[in-house]
């Protein structure tokens, strides 16, 4: 069995799952950033590699379609893309990553929390003028206030 693990999965685990465990350079950097002492041991057990540009592009397009683009970090995108490249199961407790994975047809599993049951589409509402947008913007194109994400009812 082949797995790609994100940082949330590694934080929730005591031991790596049996099988071939993969991570991205961004995951290792996040583990180091938070001074997780297990990184010294896991670094030798994890196969660390970067995804292809094509897989990253596929993840970004899918996240744009589901509305998760504003909720995914560059490391999240990297992890999803590597899972796509390797056709591996994704281990993550991040619901936006699970949502994007499901929309792409990738297998995923939660580690410390239950996984999502259905694909969610997000919309964005202005905190000032209350206008709703289907896609995320850095701020409201009408009044300049921040946008907040919420589940779309469509």
* pTM exceeding 0.85: no
Phi, psi of 147 (to 5 degrees): -100, 150
The mean pLDDT value for 134-145 works out to 85
Q: Which residue has the higher pLDDT, 148 or 72?
A: 72
* % of the chain exceeding 90 in pLDDT: 48
Name the least confident of 35-44, 47-56, 113-122, 145-154. Answer: 113-122
- Confidence check: pLDDT of 133 > 90: no
Q: Which residue has the higher pLDDT, 121 or 78?
A: 78
CA distance 145 to 12: 36
Identify the pLDDT of residue 60.
Answer: 97
- Confidence check: pLDDT of 39 > 60: yes
Domains of the chain: 2-109 (3.40.50.1010), 122-151 (2.20.28)
* Neighbour order of strands in the sheet with 147-151: 132-133, 122-126, 147-151
- Confidence check: pLDDT of 151 > 80: no
Identify the pLDDT of residue 117.
Answer: 66
């Amino acid at each position: 069995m082949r797995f790609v693990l994100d940082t949330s999965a590694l934080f929730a685990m005591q031991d790596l799952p049996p099988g071939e465990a993969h991570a991205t350079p961004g995951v290792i950097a996040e583990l180091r950033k938070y001074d997780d002492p297990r990184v010294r041991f896991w670094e030798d057990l994890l196969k660390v590699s970067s995804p292809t540009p094509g897989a990253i592009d596929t993840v970004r397009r899918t996240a744009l379609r589901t509305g998760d683009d504003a909720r995914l970090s560059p490391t999240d995108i990297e992890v999803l893309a590597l899972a796509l490249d390797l056709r591996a199961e994704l281990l993550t407790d991040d619901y936006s990553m699970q949502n994007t994975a499901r929309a792409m047809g990738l297998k995923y599993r939660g580690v410390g929390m239950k996984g999502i049951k259905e694909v969610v589409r997000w919309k964005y509402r202005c905190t000032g003028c209350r206008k709703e947008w289907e896609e995320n913007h850095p701020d409201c194109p009408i009044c300049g206030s921040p946008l907040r994400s919420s589940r779309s009812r469509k």
